[in-house]
Amino acid sequence: MTNHPADPSRRGLLKGMAGVAALASAPLPFQKAQANTNPSASHSPAGQFDDTTKRTWSACTVNCGSRCPLQMTTQNGQILYVESDDTGTDTYGEDHQVRACLRGRSMRQRVYAPDRLKYPMRRVGKRGEGKFERISWDEAFKDIADNLKRISKDYGNEAIYLNYGTGTLGGTVTKSWPPAGSLIARLMNCHGGYLNHYGDYSTAQIAAGLNYTYGGWASGNSISDIENTKLIVQFGNNPAETRMSGGGITYYLQEAKKRSNARLIVIDPRYTDTALGKEDQWIPIRPGTDAALVNGLAYVMITEDLVDQAFLDKYCVGYDQKTLPADAPANSHYKAYILGEGDDQTPKTPEWASQHTGIPVATIVQLAREIGQAKPCYIAQGWGPQRSRNGENISRAIAMLPILTGNVGIQGGNSGARESSYAIPFQRFPTLSNPIKTSISMFTWTDAILRGEEMTATADGVRGKDKLDAPIKFIWNYASNCLINQHGGINRTREILGDESRCEMIVVIDNHMTSSAEWADLVLPDLTTSEQMDFAADANFGNMNLVIFCDQVIKPLFECRSIYDICSGVAKALGDYQGESVFDKFTEGRTQEEWLRHIYAVTRAKDPSFPSFEEFREMGIIKRRDPNGHFIAYKGFRDNPKANPLSTPTGKIEIYSQALAEIAATWQLPEGDAITALPEHVSTLDGWDDEKRKELPLQLIGFHYKARTHSTYGNVELLKAANPQEVWIHPLDADSRGIKHGDLVNLKNDYGETFTQAKVTPRIMPGVVALSEGAWYQPNQKGVDTQGSFNVLATQAPSPLAKGNPSHTNLVEIKLLAAKA
């Protein structure tokens, strides 16, 4: 869709379509423009408008992993239509165009959405009722400052929490995550600090798991390196939806695969858009059982002599007795575990794996032989498999395939992690340092409200201290819908937030009246990217990347203010802290534009090849290619492991991790959770073999959907119409429940209930249903969600090691509510 090579007619069409998409269903002030616009694009739309028509560079800065330039045409100060990148030669492998997907192209709809927040508001009803009164900015600033002072005095700054929020992750001034990179952090660091969080909803389990295998964040070969491979195996990776930009991974995958002509095997419970005829084989798998599949594959590889023994001996710890740490128990190595000579005395035969995964034995044997014989082989995992209750082990297990076959650190191979991107070094907004060193996992904040002082390092993963000293009393919720919508266990969250004596103040800063905003005590209206100047960076692309100059396209709407001005206002109201003006320390005397000029000057001082600020403003985008061609993860280690050891305790790839063995022995885990020294398959609560399945027979997974970026763009009617919210269900499961395609169905489990329409399709394996995450939670009078909002059905119990969100581990039952009219 966004990824066509240069084709003038196609470009004309896209241009015209962007106009149509942007103009349809516009709010009233734009009806005249709508009537004037000829969407056929047979001539330049710009020619039709008067002198005030202008085209300005901006960007889409949401957290879809990509970053896309937008060129916005305005007339009389209002956005008329939105186009994307038209620079470069548009030849793959050169500086091809980074074209926005339909979400970015519908930016006009988001900017002018009827539910735009217009002025600051204070809650008047009970928390969560959604009743507010309009107040002035000065009242809002004073209220926040008074509460910050009171709460930090009574409980300490550890009681002030910056919630996870990625709504404008791609910006520089507006950057909303990581928390320490945001302006809210800078503000709080001028006033005693805040309780930080570690980990993220995206990658908590893989980041924690592969840290023990490779040391630190596990990188993968650049996706462009697929042009050098023989076989591509993707576990739960769906870039056709999750990396949609014209500069995005989906384009690299297609183009690189064309060059190598490598086979593509997709392992996913769903037949994804990434497969969809472009794959050579789809292997549907039961959610949460990828580690069991790997075990079966390893069994075949070991018994058929397909493993790279020399690689395992030289680079790895714990494959067999030879490299097992001296003080590890006998037979606790990987080979013993697979062959059934370890503690459980269970050989992980293909038959064993088939039972767990639902994949036929012959398919497992054939896959093992194919992977074992293809050299090099690009094995990668998206983040779907790890976003589960046993995700740490799953991520480590998948990495075993390239490790067993010696595909790590070579061209055309991969580490088993997700693909890496080439990055352009770019200065970020300095945020000063946080005097509070404590942090919690981003997923455990509701518990920190409820029982903060009981939370410890070994039971709850508190870091920086043995335990928390205060519960959360103040929440900054900036560019985040995690207060309600994006956080598992919505009904439990409602209960905890509903007790106003616990968390005493919640400030939500957003563009729209989201379900999280409804739970705020104060709602502050932020500018969109289109209303201010900023730089966008940090895309997940291939071996080319870009930085975008986001200019101010239109004047701020209503009483909206930028996050810089909001933080400056609070800073002023805070007065002095330890004898220093918070305002002076926060602003350093600069305006937003002056900061951007300063940040750019710092970037340029480090790298004089950047053009001048004014040149960049004119160009809109700076694109660069990786001077090394393709990134090859762990190449230095592979070439010379003594000179370039990994940052694991042994400096090697740790198949058996002593650090994990220690954690397993010392942490307190709830019954049913496991941390293991080897990347074992473990059964979990709400997994396929949970007893509960008798009542809740269907496994429910989520996925990231092209209709939205999480919840962002969820209020754009055109996108909703094109990609409705629906639950994928196999015809066998639908038939046995009397459900037909398009029927309204109810999804229910221990945590909650919702309804949505059924998509009856063989694109999902029997016994599994899938619902995209991010639909806007909207309960009816009985408290039942009406929008198919995923997180009413998800748990708040974290995964064992990362304390991360097990979003894809759920059991559910589905019933017919009403047949399609």
Closest to Mo ion by CB, 97 or 202:
202
Residue 481 binds ligand MGD, judged by CB under 6 A: yes
Closest to ligand SF4 by CB, 110 or 803:
110
Question: Smallest distance from the beta carbon of 82 to ligand SF4, in angstroms?
Answer: 10
Tokens of 755: 């309804």
Which of Mo ion, ligand MGD, ligand SF4, none has residue 100 at its interface (CB below 5 to 8 Å by kind)? ligand SF4
Using the Cα atoms of residue 247, residue 249, residue 251 and residue 257 in order, give the sign of their dihedral: positive
Closest to Mo ion by CB, 202 or 603:
202
Question: Smallest distance from the beta carbon of 468 to ligand MGD, in angstroms?
Answer: 23
Instruction: Pick left, alpha or beta for residue 200 (phi over 0 → left; psi -120 to 50 → alpha; otherwise beta).
Output: beta
| One residue of 14, 70, 285, 307 binding ligand MGD per CB under 6 A | 285
Closest to ligand SF4 by CB, 68 or 312:
68
Please give, one letter per residue, the 3-state secondary structure of 373-385: HCCCEEEEECCCC
Closest to Mo ion by CB, 202 or 381:
202
Detail the DSSP E strand segments found in 394-536: 439-441, 474-478, 505-510, 522-525, 534-536
Detail the DSSP E strand segments found in 605-732: 621-625, 653-654, 698-703, 726-729
Phi, psi (degrees; rounded to nearest 5) at 175: -50, 125
Residue 703 binds ligand MGD, judged by CB under 6 A: yes
* Nearest alpha-carbon partner for 223 in 264, 254, 268: 254
Question: Smallest distance from the beta carbon of 365 to ligand MGD, in angstroms?
Answer: 19
Kindly list the residues in this chain that would bind Mo ion in the complex (CB under 5 A).
Answer: 202
Which residues neighbour 86 within 8 Å (Cβ) at sequence distance 6 or greater? 11, 71, 97
| One residue of 58, 189, 202, 676 binding ligand MGD per CB under 6 A | 202
d(C-alpha 615, C-alpha 600), whole Å: 12
78: β partners = 75
* Nearest alpha-carbon partner for 295 in 673, 682, 677, 688: 682
Q: Are strands 653-654 and 698-703 parallel, antiparallel or unpaired?
A: unpaired
b/e 27-41 (16+ beta carbons within 10 angstroms → b): eeebeebbeebebeb
Closest to ligand MGD by CB, 222 or 390:
390
Residue 296 binds ligand MGD, judged by CB under 6 A: no
Reduced to 3 states (helix: H, G, I; strand: E, B; else coil), residue 41 is coil
Residue 673 binds ligand MGD, judged by CB under 6 A: no
d(C-alpha 442, C-alpha 549), whole Å: 31
Residue 108 binds ligand MGD, judged by CB under 6 A: no
Question: Smallest distance from the beta carbon of 771 to ligand MGD, in angstroms?
Answer: 8
Residues 508-547 that bind ligand MGD (CB under 6 A): 509-512, 514, 526, 528-529
Question: Smallest distance from the beta carbon of 702 to Mo ion, in angstroms?
Answer: 11
Which of ligand MGD, ligand SF4, Mo ion, none has residue 774 at its interface (CB below 5 to 8 Å by kind)? ligand MGD
Instruction: Pick left, alpha or beta for residue 403 (phi over 0 → left; psi -120 to 50 → alpha; otherwise beta).
Output: alpha
Residue 201 binds ligand MGD, judged by CB under 6 A: yes
Question: Smallest distance from the beta carbon of 95 to ligand SF4, in angstroms?
Answer: 17
Closest to ligand SF4 by CB, 223 or 745:
223
Which of ligand SF4, ligand MGD, Mo ion, none has residue 712 at its interface (CB below 5 to 8 Å by kind)? ligand MGD
User: Which of these ranges, 209-217, 218-226, 287-295, 775-783, lies near ligand MGD under the rule CB under 6 A?
Assistant: 287-295
Question: Smallest distance from the beta carbon of 679 to ligand MGD, in angstroms?
Answer: 15
Residue nearest to Mo ion (CB): 202
d(C-alpha 67, C-alpha 552), whole Å: 17
Which of ligand SF4, Mo ion, ligand MGD, none has residue 245 at its interface (CB below 5 to 8 Å by kind)? ligand SF4
Which of Mo ion, ligand SF4, ligand MGD, none has residue 199 at its interface (CB below 5 to 8 Å by kind)? none
Residue 84 binds ligand MGD, judged by CB under 6 A: no
d(C-alpha 540, C-alpha 354), whole Å: 35
d(C-alpha 39, C-alpha 551), whole Å: 26
Which of ligand SF4, ligand MGD, Mo ion, none has residue 67 at its interface (CB below 5 to 8 Å by kind)? ligand SF4
Residues 765-794 that bind ligand MGD (CB under 6 A): 770, 773-774, 790-791, 794
Using the Cα atoms of residue 754, residue 760, residue 761 and residue 765 in order, give the sign of their dihedral: positive
Which of ligand MGD, Mo ion, ligand SF4, none has residue 60 at its interface (CB below 5 to 8 Å by kind)? ligand SF4
Closest to ligand MGD by CB, 79 or 316:
79
Residue 805 per-residue DSSP state = -
Which of Mo ion, ligand MGD, ligand SF4, none has residue 481 at its interface (CB below 5 to 8 Å by kind)? ligand MGD
Closest to Mo ion by CB, 202 or 219:
202
| One residue of 807, 811, 812, 814 binding ligand MGD per CB under 6 A | 807
Q: Which helix (H) or strand (E) holds 587?
A: helix 582-587
Detail the DSSP E strand segments found in 442-581: 474-478, 505-510, 522-525, 534-536, 544-550, 576-577, 580-581
Residue 387 binds ligand MGD, judged by CB under 6 A: yes
b/e 459-487 (16+ beta carbons within 10 angstroms → b): ebbbbeeeebebbbbbbbbbbbbbbbbbb
Tokens of 399: 């990495």
CB atoms within 10 A of CB 408: 27
Closest to ligand MGD by CB, 237 or 658:
237
Start-end of H helices in 628-708: 635-639, 658-666
Residues 213-242 that bind ligand MGD (CB under 6 A): 235-238, 241-242
| One residue of 705, 728, 755, 777 binding ligand MGD per CB under 6 A | 705
Stated length of the chain: 821
Using the Cα atoms of residue 516, residue 517, residue 522 and residue 526 in order, give the sign of their dihedral: positive
Which residues neighbour 152 within 8 Å (Cβ) at sequence distance 6 or greater? 159, 160, 191, 192
Question: Smallest distance from the beta carbon of 418 to ligand SF4, in angstroms?
Answer: 17
Which of ligand MGD, Mo ion, ligand SF4, none has residue 104 at its interface (CB below 5 to 8 Å by kind)? ligand SF4
d(C-alpha 677, C-alpha 424), whole Å: 37
Closest to ligand SF4 by CB, 84 or 515:
84
Distance of CA 353 to CAs 285, 295, 446, Å? Answer: 11, 7, 37
Residue 382 binds ligand MGD, judged by CB under 6 A: yes
Residues 165-184 that bind ligand MGD (CB under 6 A): 165-168, 174
Question: Smallest distance from the beta carbon of 523 to ligand MGD, in angstroms?
Answer: 10
Report CA 417 to chain centroid distance, whole Å: 15
| One residue of 3, 182, 446, 709 binding ligand MGD per CB under 6 A | 709
Question: Smallest distance from the beta carbon of 153 to ligand MGD, in angstroms?
Answer: 28
Torsion of CA 511, 515, 521, 525, to 10 degrees: 10
Quote the Cα angle for 750-754-757, to 5°.
Answer: 135
Kindly list the residues in this chain that would bind ligand SF4 in the complex (CB under 6 A).
Answer: 60, 62, 64, 66-68, 100-101, 103-104, 244-245, 709
Closest to ligand SF4 by CB, 101 or 374:
101
d(C-alpha 438, C-alpha 769), whole Å: 39
Question: Smallest distance from the beta carbon of 59 to ligand SF4, in angstroms?
Answer: 7
Question: Is-contact 195 440, C-beta < 8 A?
Answer: yes
Closest to ligand SF4 by CB, 79 or 364:
79
Which of ligand SF4, ligand MGD, Mo ion, none has residue 147 at its interface (CB below 5 to 8 Å by kind)? none
Task: By CB under 6 A, name the binding residues for ligand MGD.
Answer: 62-65, 165-168, 174, 201-202, 235-238, 241-242, 244, 267-270, 272, 285, 287-288, 290, 382-385, 387-388, 478-482, 486, 509-512, 514, 526, 528-529, 701-706, 708-712, 770, 773-774, 790-791, 794, 807-808
